[in-house]
Amino acid sequence: MRSLTSLIALLSCSTCLIFAQSTTDTGLGDIQDAITSYLGPSYAQVSGSATSDDPLPSEYATSNKKTFILSNDFEITDQTQIREYNFEIKAVTANPDGYERQIYTINGEFPGPLIECNTGDTIRVHVKNSLDIPQTIHWHGISQNGSNVMDGVPGITQCPIPPGQNFTYEFPIVQQYGTYWYHSHFANTMADGIAGPFIVHSPDDPVQRGRDYDNERVLLIQDWMHDQSTDIVAALKSADGYRGSPGAPKGDSILINDVGHASPDDPNWPEGVECNPPPRAEVPVIAGQRTRFRIINTGAHSMLRVSMDQHEFEVAEVDTDPVYGPTIHEIPVAPAQRYSIIVNATLGQAGDKFKLRVHVAAGCMDKVQQDTWAVLRYTNNNEEYDDKGEEPEDKPWDDLAAFDSPCRDLDDQYTLSPRVAIDANVKPLQTLSLSSKFGTFLGTQGQNITGFAFNNISFQNQIWDPVLPQIIDNGKYTNENVAQVVFDQDGYVDLILNNLDGGIDHPYHLHGNEFQLIKRGDGNLTVEEAQAMDLSNIVNPLRRDTIFIPGNAYAILRIRTDNPGVWALHCHIGWHLAVGKLATVIVRPQDMQKFKQPEDWKGLCAGQNSTQEGPARRSVAPTSAPVSHLRNPRDARSRDRSRKGSMRD
Ligand SMILES: [Cu+2]
């Protein structure tokens, strides 16, 4: 039996995970003309060859330029409206990096369609779940003030949408603007492709089009796996782990705007399978103009560092908050974090090209170097060129971080001052802490659970018996399947996050609230120690919703409790979330009892087994071989591939 020490050692090196299913209109108007067959005709032929013997869906993923190139025709206004979208979650086939696999998509698009709106708009998304597993969609960074029931966390704020069923998410954008995104919150199926950008404009945004920049782009970066996330999570929970480790896997490749470049030389590449990477992604800018890139790390594990050869950039937004930031050569982006950077394309003319690099920050992973690049292309009007995707000259900045240098958030290295200044100038009414670590914990059934926990409770998701309706009905939540901290005061409170894992860094995300980052420090901090500090006069601290905390370190977050609700706080490394790393921050439960419980929302739970536990848990500590239905992803894939190969010939 593996000792805890060796488990932790394995966790501090790296590993992996992945998911997929079916068609509809996107709600985005003339979107169809911009949709192109994903990765060209040589792959389209594959789509007709699938049979019931073949696990790959017959439909092929599409890619939509409008997801990445925001139109200046979008009217930024305080006139509000309802923005309506149809999302069908379905499995299709895609080859984003040379390896063809089933992925999960919204409407067959990879990435999911752009949601774009103004502050004050109401978002209405009709979701149809055409997968054979349940699903939910979470709107990352949206406060859901007054609409907690729409937060999209199965087992916390709702029962998931069962296979074949529909649910409509509807919520107003209250006083917020900036760079958001949406993704599945069911197990780690986000890692199979259910994610997309969500941009909120406002005339009040201090970073203004026309004054501070000329054009806008979305830049999505992520690590990517060749196996379905369900297979990877199942393997992580087994005695053997995934690829021999219980640790979160290193990506098989890195995608930039959902295109990557896997290598058959990778030790995990299945034998006998062809590697046919698509052309590198082209990221167009307008020559002579300033582009605001809204960078979103949609990945499941890696912190990624982004740079553009010969181009410095100004950091202008952190998560959703406009900031006065540094002008730098490279920016680290942890999973789920967002940054806006402004790049001036003054080094050439239309047709010129430069490398846009993404490097894995491997200092907090397995210390194996992993990089990729896309083409930063100067254009007149986003046109394409004959040498599309071909390698630009290699001219990296000479001060890029070493691949194995420590993983640190940008605020650990530079001052980032919110442009809308808010001082932290009151004494917090309450201070509470959540301490998280990897280990073996006691489950609700008295069983041992190996995984991650907050305050010694490893999340066991009672997926069909969510927390929120229980608090609405009873004013409190008494089950012990998920850690909770309760802030019942109306004002400002402090939450201490302690990362007790020696060798593992984590990106923590708090739903429903952005927080002021009051303090970071090494070691662990008690509530008493925090209360003894003078934390009542901090000038304009950084605000954000996702923070990267190194191992054996802490952060103090200040939260304004003006948003009653049950808010998930979890690690955004999807593989860690899937093995228990989620807690709840319950804000003013007495005021939650006024919440309305929509009939269709309650209906999602109807007829389900409320005692069943969902996928985001780690079952009894593995002491025997995995059960037979948990196929070894690699073996299964090899079989699938060989069959496919012969059909193709
Ligand atoms: Cu984590």
Quote the CA–CA distance of 499 and 555 in Å, as a whole number: 9
Q: What is the band of 42 on the pLDDT scale with cuts at 50, 70, 90?
A: very low
Quote the CA–CA distance of 77 and 79 in Å, as a whole number: 5
Indicate whether 52 pLDDT > 50. no
Q: Give the pLDDT confidence of 201-229 residue by residue, as tens digits.
A: 999 999 999 999 999 999 999 999 999 99
Question: If you measure from the C-alpha of residue 16 to the centroid of ligand 1, how many angstroms do you get, rounded to a whole number?
Answer: 13
Q: What pLDDT sits at residue 613?
A: 76
**Average of per-residue pLDDT across 282-296:** 98
Return the CATH fold of 431-603.
Answer: Immunoglobulin-like (2.60.40)
Question: If you measure from the C-alpha of residue 165 to the centroid of ligand 1, how many angstroms do you get, rounded to a whole number?
Answer: 31
Question: If you measure from the C-alpha of residue 507 to the centroid of ligand 1, how many angstroms do you get, rounded to a whole number?
Answer: 6
Quote the CA–CA distance of 444 and 283 in Å, as a whole number: 50
Quote the CA–CA distance of 645 and 602 in Å, as a whole number: 46
Indicate whether 384 pLDDT > 60. yes
Question: If you measure from the C-alpha of residue 299 to the centroid of ligand 1, how many angstroms do you get, rounded to a whole number?
Answer: 12
Residue 213 CB neighbours (<10 A): 22
Q: What is the band of 610 on the pLDDT scale with cuts at 50, 70, 90?
A: confident
Question: If you measure from the C-alpha of residue 137 to the centroid of ligand 1, how many angstroms do you get, rounded to a whole number?
Answer: 20
Q: What pLDDT sits at residue 55?
A: 76
Q: What is the band of 615 on the pLDDT scale with cuts at 50, 70, 90?
A: low
Whether the model clears a pTM of 0.75, i.e. scores above it, the answer is: yes
Q: Give the pLDDT confidence of 349-360 residue by residue, as tens digits.
A: 999 999 999 999
Residues 6+ apart with CB under 8 A from 452: 436, 437, 438, 458, 571, 576, 579, 580, 581
Q: Where in the chain is the domain with CATH 2.60.40.420?
A: 4-141+176-418, 431-603
Q: Give the pLDDT confidence of 631-641 residue by residue, as tens digits.
A: 233 333 433 43
**Average of per-residue pLDDT across 581-592:** 98
**Average of per-residue pLDDT across 366-377:** 95
Find, among 152, 141, 67, 140, the residue nearest to 110 by Cα: 67
Question: If you measure from the C-alpha of residue 272 to the centroid of ligand 1, how many angstroms do you get, rounded to a whole number?
Answer: 34
Residues 6+ apart with CB under 8 A from 534: none
Q: What pLDDT sits at residue 612?
A: 80
User: Reading across the β-sheet that carries 82-94, which strands appear in turn?
Assistant: 101-106, 82-94, 122-129, 166-172
Question: If you measure from the C-alpha of residue 570 to the centroid of ligand 1, how many angstroms do you get, rounded to a whole number?
Answer: 8
The two structure tokens encoding residue 198: 């969500």
**Average of per-residue pLDDT across 245-255:** 95
Q: Lowest mean pLDDT of 5-14, 82-91, 435-444, name the range.
A: 5-14
Dihedral angle, C-alpha 601, 605, 610, 612, nearest 10 ° = -100
Question: If you measure from the C-alpha of residue 410 to the centroid of ligand 1, how many angstroms do you get, rounded to a whole number?
Answer: 18
Q: Give the pLDDT confidence of 254-281 residue by residue, as tens digits.
A: 999 999 999 999 999 999 999 999 999 9
Question: If you measure from the C-alpha of residue 194 to the centroid of ligand 1, how many angstroms do you get, rounded to a whole number?
Answer: 20
Quote the CA–CA distance of 241 and 15 in Å, as a whole number: 9
Q: What is the DSSP letter of 332?
A: E
Question: If you measure from the C-alpha of residue 498 to the centroid of ligand 1, how many angstroms do you get, rounded to a whole number?
Answer: 12
Question: If you measure from the C-alpha of residue 317 to the centroid of ligand 1, how many angstroms do you get, rounded to a whole number?
Answer: 24
Question: If you measure from the C-alpha of residue 614 to the centroid of ligand 1, how many angstroms do you get, rounded to a whole number?
Answer: 19
Quote the CA–CA distance of 416 and 401 in Å, as a whole number: 19
Question: If you measure from the C-alpha of residue 142 to the centroid of ligand 1, how many angstroms do you get, rounded to a whole number?
Answer: 22
452: β partners? 438
Q: Give the pLDDT confidence of 460-484 residue by residue, as tens digits.
A: 999 999 999 999 999 999 999 999 9
Q: What pLDDT sits at residue 400?
A: 98
Q: Give the pLDDT confidence of 503-540 residue by residue, as tens digits.
A: 899 999 999 999 999 999 999 999 999 999 999 999 99
Question: If you measure from the C-alpha of residue 528 to the centroid of ligand 1, how many angstroms do you get, rounded to a whole number?
Answer: 26
Average pLDDT of the chain is 87
Angle at 22 between CA 21 and CA 23, to 5 degrees: 155
Residue 639: what residue type? Answer: R
Indicate whether 43 pLDDT > 70. no
Quote the CA–CA distance of 79 and 86 in Å, as a whole number: 23
Question: If you measure from the C-alpha of residue 455 to the centroid of ligand 1, how many angstroms do you get, rounded to a whole number?
Answer: 15
Quote the CA–CA distance of 276 and 496 in Å, as a whole number: 47
Q: What pLDDT sits at residue 17?
A: 22
**Average of per-residue pLDDT across 111-122:** 98
Q: What is the band of 622 on the pLDDT scale with cuts at 50, 70, 90?
A: very low
Indicate whether 57 pLDDT > 90. yes
Residue 379: what residue type? Answer: T
Question: If you measure from the C-alpha of residue 462 to the centroid of ligand 1, how many angstroms do you get, rounded to a whole number?
Answer: 21
Q: What are phi and psi of 502, to 5 degrees?
A: -60, -55
Q: What are the C-alpha distances in Å from 552 to residues 429, 497, 555, 631?
A: 26, 11, 11, 36
Indicate whether 112 pLDDT > 70. yes
Question: If you measure from the C-alpha of residue 364 to the centroid of ligand 1, how many angstroms do you get, rounded to a whole number?
Answer: 11
Question: If you measure from the C-alpha of residue 382 to the centroid of ligand 1, how many angstroms do you get, rounded to a whole number?
Answer: 38
Q: Lowest mean pLDDT of 135-139, 297-301, 618-622, name the range.
A: 618-622
Q: What is the band of 125 on the pLDDT scale with cuts at 50, 70, 90?
A: very high
Superfamily holding 4-141+176-418: Cupredoxins -  blue copper proteins (2.60.40.420)
Find, among 244, 117, 229, 239, the residue nearest to 184 by Cα: 229
Segments of 173-214 assigned E as strands: 178-184, 195-201
% of the chain at pLDDT higher than 90? 83
Q: What pLDDT sits at residue 625?
A: 29
Using an 8 Å Cβ cutoff, are 578 and 233 in contact? yes
Pairing of strands 195-201, 115-118: parallel
Q: What is the band of 630 on the pLDDT scale with cuts at 50, 70, 90?
A: very low
Using an 8 Å Cβ cutoff, are 409 and 334 in contact? yes
Residue 75 CB neighbours (<10 A): 8
Q: Lowest mean pLDDT of 9-18, 318-327, 549-558, name the range.
A: 9-18
Find, among 308, 327, 282, 313, the residue nearest to 396 by Cα: 308
Distance of CA 593 to the CA centre of its chain: 31
Question: If you measure from the C-alpha of residue 572 to the centroid of ligand 1, how many angstroms do you get, rounded to a whole number?
Answer: 6
Question: If you measure from the C-alpha of residue 171 to the centroid of ligand 1, how many angstroms do you get, rounded to a whole number?
Answer: 29
Residues 6+ apart with CB under 8 A from 649: none
Q: What is the band of 609 on the pLDDT scale with cuts at 50, 70, 90?
A: confident
Question: If you measure from the C-alpha of residue 204 to the centroid of ligand 1, how many angstroms do you get, rounded to a whole number?
Answer: 35
Please give the full DSSP string across 458-495, using - where no structure is assigned: -----TTS-HHHHHHHHSS---SSSEEEEE-SSSEEEE
